[in-house]
Structures are given as C-alpha cells and as structure tokens.
Amino acid sequence: MQCLVTGGAGFIGTALVNRLVQQGHHVRVLDDLSAGDPSGLHPDALFTRGDVRDRPKLWTLLQKVDCVFHLAARVSVQESAFYPREYNDVNVGGTVSLAEATRDAGVKRIVLASSATVYGPQPRQPVPESAWPHPQVPYAVSKLAAEHYIFALGELNGIETVALRIFNAFGPGQRIPPVHAPVVPHFARNVLSGASVVVHGDGKQTRDFVYISDVVDALVAASTAPNIDRNIINVGSGEETSLEGLIAVLGQVTQRQPEVIYNPRQSGGIARLVADLSTARRVLGYKPRISLREGLERLMVEDPRFARSSTAQTTRRERSGSRTAAK
C-alpha cells in the first residue's frame, strides 16, 4: 500500500510506521514534532514536518495514497482541561481538514486512532463499543467528535472509515514529559530510580494496559479488513489491572521494592475501565499476544532509558554484595 501516517513520529506512530515499512509498504509521515521525534523512524519512511490542519500540504502528501492512519493529536488528558480550545482546534479541526483533503485526493480508507477515554465511567465491564460514551475531559470530547466527523464525512464522500478506541498503550519509546506523564513509564522510572511512586486515590482503580506491538497489530489489520466501514473497535489487552497491581508487577520485573505514597485528596479518575475485545476478535482477527508482565520485561530491555538504569542498579547491587562477601 501507499500509506500516510499523521502523527507518525509519536510513540504509537513510530511503531506503526516502522512495522509498515518492514512489511514492504510505502509510508509517508506527517508530524509537527510538538511531541514526536523522527530519529526513531525507519530510514525508508518519507518524513515531512507539518501541521495536520495544513490542507495544501495534506493534498501533496495524499496523492496516490490508499490508506491514511490518523494519529495526529494532542494527547494529554490532564492538559486538555486547561487548554480545551487548543485540543478542539487540533484534534477536531485537524480531523476535519484531513477528511476534506482525503476526499479531494481520492483516498480509499481512513483509520482513526481514537481513545478509550471517550467511555468515561461505565456500569458494565468489560466495556463494549455499544456503551454510551460519557467523556469527562476535553481530550475525550475531542476524540469522540473526531469519530463522528470521519464517519459522517466518510459516508458523504465514499471513504471507508474505522475508529480504533485504544486503551492504555505502553512500550519502548513512550515519552515521559515533566508533567502529566503516562502512568507506565512514569511509575517504571520512579521504581528504578528509587523515587516514591505517588498514586492518586486508593490505587484500586483499574485500567487496561496494552503493549505497543498489539496496538500496531490492530492498526495494520484495520487498514485492509473487509466490511468494517464506520466501525468502532476496542483495542486493549482485555485484562483488568489495578494501579496497585501494576506497581506490584513492576517491583517483580525490576527486583525493586517500590515506595508508594497515596494521595487520597486527588482523584484517581474513573474506577474501572477494561476493553471488551469481542468486536476486535471478530472483524480484525485481533488477539493480544503480550501480557503486562512480558510487556514490562520488554520495556526494561528494549528502552535504553530503563535498560541503562536497570543495568546500573544491578551492577551496584552486585558490587555491594562482593564487598560484603570480601569483608
């Protein structure tokens, strides 16, 4: 295929681009680098720096493209509460600009990377795609609006569209910004460095942590699967894990004793969220392959930031043990 990946220098985008190139597809990448890094992209990917709202640039990149993977977005749940206008402008406005440009370029399919945050609190777990959304933050609202726009404009213009609601993705290369960092790399860094792990709420809130390679499996499958026009599809692990459980597995994988501080005064977010994967299994043949523990083990080996820290601490322990034995 000829593919365009918007937001292709981000965490999920980079993994997707590299997989597509390795499979022999021709891949163009658009990213404004506000949160991405093109250094991790396969050298055969054609990278362009630019804004997803720039329609002339989109028209150029979309020529002879078969499928667009639309990942470009602002992605911080907490930040969106402070900058709702910017999240609406990029996440919704960028999606509309892309849908218009794909119409003019004759693109056949758009795969939208949406988010499980659109569900909000749900009485039924695991959550099926038929659950009525209760978005509680501007980021979630913007993702839900993006879904509606690509479905409506796709139907009007004869473009096949599908939205993947991705749960808590993690893996090597995920950014750890100074504030509002994703929970897995943030906790992992603190455990390895000996810093305290601060948990908002009681730590019993649950999430669905899905490894990056499984997410990419679903995205690639959605680009060619038949009869999925205007489908919404959950992408997760299907396993429900509490934050306390995540910290416990991190302790086992790193062989550290995490120091946990609970902050009951700050909300830990919704109480439970785990994906019902029935639709993904049926229409994509999707089956998550990497467990939480295996994913964390891979993270420690494949991500240089954690591998260096883990190796350094192991070496210090070994040296300490040698000195003790010598005495």
DSSP state, 90? I
What stretch of H or E contains 320?
helix 304-326
Helix, strand, coil percentages for the chain (3-state, nearest 5)? 45, 20, 35
Bridge pairing between strands 26-31 and 2-6: parallel
Listed in sequence order, the residues at least 6 apart from 174 whose beta carbon sits closer than 8 Å to its beta carbon are 11, 182, 184, 185, 212
Answer positive or negative: Cα dihedral of 208, 213, 219, 223: negative
Active-site residue identified among 139, 149, 211, 286: 139
Rounded-to-10 torsion of CA 55, 59, 61, 67: 100
> Which uninterrupted H or E stretch holds 5?
strand 2-6
The C-alpha angle 131, 119, 5, rounded to 5 degrees, equals 110
Angle, CA of 220, 89 and 84, to the nearest 5° = 105
Q: With contact defined as beta carbons under 8 Å apart, do 210 and 182 qualify?
A: no
Which candidate, 78, 85, 67, 115, places its Cα nearest to that of 275? Answer: 115
139 is catalytic: yes
Those residues whose C-beta lies under 8 Å from the C-beta of residue 246, and which sit 6 or more positions away, are: 183, 184, 187, 207, 209, 292
Contacts of 31-38 with C-beta under 8 Å, sequence gap 24+, read: 31/6, 31/7, 31/72, 32/72, 33/9, 34/74, 35/10, 35/74, 35/75, 35/175, 35/177, 36/7, 36/8, 36/9, 36/10, 37/9, 38/9
CA 116, CA 274: separation in Å to the nearest integer? 9
Residues annotated catalytic, as ranges: 139
